[in-house]
Amino acid sequence: MPVLRLVKGPGAPREFTLDASDVSRDSFSVLIGRDERVCSIHLSHPCVSRRHARVAADDLGFALADEESKAGTFLNGQRLKPRAACALRHRDRIEICGYTFVYQDEAPECAGCAGDEDTSSPEPEIPDAGSALDGSTTTWLMRTDFHAQPKLAALMQLTKELRKAVTLDDLLPDVLDGLLALHAQADRALIVLRETGSGRPGTIRVRQRGSGRMTEAAQAGKLIREVIATGNAIMSDQALTISAPLSDLEGKPLGAIQLDALASQQVFQREDLELLATVAFQVSFVVENAMLHEAALRERALETELKLAQEIQVELLPSEAPQIDGYEFFDYYAPAKYVGGDYYDYLPLDDDRLALVVGDVSGKGVPAALLMVKVASELEASLATERDPVAALNSVNRRFSRRNPDGAFVTMVLAILDLARHQMSVVNAGHLRPLLRRPDGTVVEIGDAEAGMPLGVVPARTYEQTQLQINAGDALVLISDGITEAQSAGGRQYGQPRLLAQLAASCGTAADLGRRIIDDVDRFVGSHPQSDDRCLLCLRRGS
C-alpha cells in the first residue's frame, strides 16, 4: 500500500499510509498542514501554512498539489505551482518547510526491506566558503542544533521586532540591528531592496556596528547583486562576507541582506550562512507585507487626489443647461477614469448668441484633463475677442500648436447659435460631425467637406464654417467618440449606424432624445468596462 515516509524533521522517522480502499478513489485525499483540525498530516512549524499541500488519488495513482501555501511545496527540489496537481512516482521527495517526505508505491514488509532508501535524518550538506545555498529551498529551516543560546535569544528578539514593524522605515533598522546581534563577528549589516515600481525606488541601507544611525549606500556590491540574480545564499571566498536573498511569495526577488566582517577579520562559519538564509526567509515575509502596505497607502493617496481632481473638473463644467425661451438643452458626461479629456460647455456671447462646444483630447486621465482645461481657457479668451468663430478657432490652434511639446492633439466642434435669427455657424476641428434631426425623422451630418484637422496638428491651418438654419422641431446632437466607439463584452463597437437609428426614432424633448441614446449605449455595453470618456450635448428648438 502506498505510504508517505517522514524522513527529516520533528517526529521523523514516521510513516503515513495512503489507504483509499474504504472510499472511492475520486474522493480520497490527505491534507498536509498546520491546522490539526482538518489536516491528516499535521506539521507544527510556523512557516507551514494552515492548509499547505494535498495528496489526492486519481486513476493512475496519487498526485501532490500545493494549496496556495506561503512557503511553497517542493517536489524533487522543484517548487510546485499552486493548485497544479503533479503525479507522484516511487521515491519522490517532498519538502515542506524543513520536513522531508519520501513517497513509496508500497510499504516495506519489515524494517530491513526498505531497500536502499535511507530512513534516517541526515544533516543537509553544508556549503564551504565560496559556495552557495539555494535560496528557494527550505531544507535548513528546521535546523536549530547549531544555534547557541545567545543566537536563539537574538533570533527570537528579531522575530518579535519584525512582527511589530509595519512600514519599511520602521522595519529596516530592526532588521539590520537584529543581523548584527545574531552574528558577533560582523561589523556591518546591509539590506538591498529592488525597485518595485515608480512609487518605490530601490533602497540600500547600511548599519555599522557601534553606530547609532542607519546610512544609505550608493550602490550594491558584486556579491549581493549575484545573490539577487541567482536567488542563492553565498559566502565569499575569504569567508568575510555572507549574503542571502529576499524573495516574495512567488519566488521573485525582492532584494538581499548581507553581513561583512572586513574590519574584524573574523571569518564566518558554515553555519552562519545557513542562519542568515533562515533569517532572510522570515525577513522576506515582513518586507513584502511592508511593501504592500506602502503601496496601499500610495494608492489611497492617489485616489484622494483623483477624487479632488474630479471635483475640480466637475466645477469647471456647466452646472446646469441654459434656460432660453424656445430652446431645450441636455448634456451628459462620463469619464472613463476619475477625470477625463472630454469637454463640453455653453458660452453666452454678445449680440444674443450662444456658443456650444464639445472637445476631446488625445489620451485619458489627469494629463488629458489638464490639457483640456488649457484649451478650454484659450477658446473662451478667443471668443471674447473674435466675433468670427473661424478666426477664434484659428487663434486657438496657433497658440496650442506653439505650446504643445508632447505632440498631443484635440478634436473640437464649435457651434454658435444666433438666438434671434435661429441660424447656426459650425466650425469643426477634426471632431465627429454634428447630427441634425429634422421633425420628419431624417438625420443630416453637418459639415462633411468643412471638417478640418484637429487642433495642435498643423499650426497654420485655416478652418472653414458651415451655416445652417435651425427650424422649429429641429434637434442638434454633438457627441464624442466614446459614444460611437463604446464596446460590448464581445468587442463590437456601438457604431454610427446604431446611433443614427436612435436619432431617427421619435424625438420628444432634448432630454428624451439624449437619455434614449445614453440608455441604448448602456444596454449595448452591458457590464463591459468603460474604455473611453463619453460626452453628449443635445439642443432642440421648440415647435
**What are the mean pLDDT values of the chain's consecutive 10-residue runs (543 residues total)?**
86 83 74 89 84 88 91 90 92 90 68 40 40 48 44 62 69 85 88 69 80 75 88 88 87 89 82 87 83 79 73 78 95 81 91 94 75 87 93 92 78 95 95 94 83 85 92 95 91 94 88 95 91 92 87
Separation CA 395–CA 462 (nearest Å): 9
Cis peptide, bond prior to residue 405, ω within 30 of zero: no
* SS3 assignment, position 53: strand
DSSP structural state of residue 523: H
Domains and CATH numbers, the chain: 2-105 (2.60.200.20), 150-293 (3.30.450.40), 317-541 (3.60.40.10)
Which DSSP symbol is given to 449? T
Q: Where are the beta strands (DSSP E) in 350-405?
A: 353-361
Query: 15 - beta bridge partners?
Result: 5
* pLDDT value of position 324: 95
Q: Are 35 and 50 in contact (CB under 8 A)?
A: yes
Asked if residues 297 and 289 have their Cβ atoms less than 8 Å apart, the reply is no
Q: What pLDDT is stored for residue 67 in this prediction?
A: 93
Q: What is the reported pLDDT for 476?
A: 96
Q: Collect all residues with Cβ–Cβ distance below 8 Å to 334 and sequence separation of at least 6.
A: 482, 530, 533, 534, 535
The pLDDT of residue 182 = 83
Q: What is the DSSP string of 259-270?
A: EE-TTT--PPPH
Cell of 290: 511592508
DSSP-derived secondary structure letter, 475: E
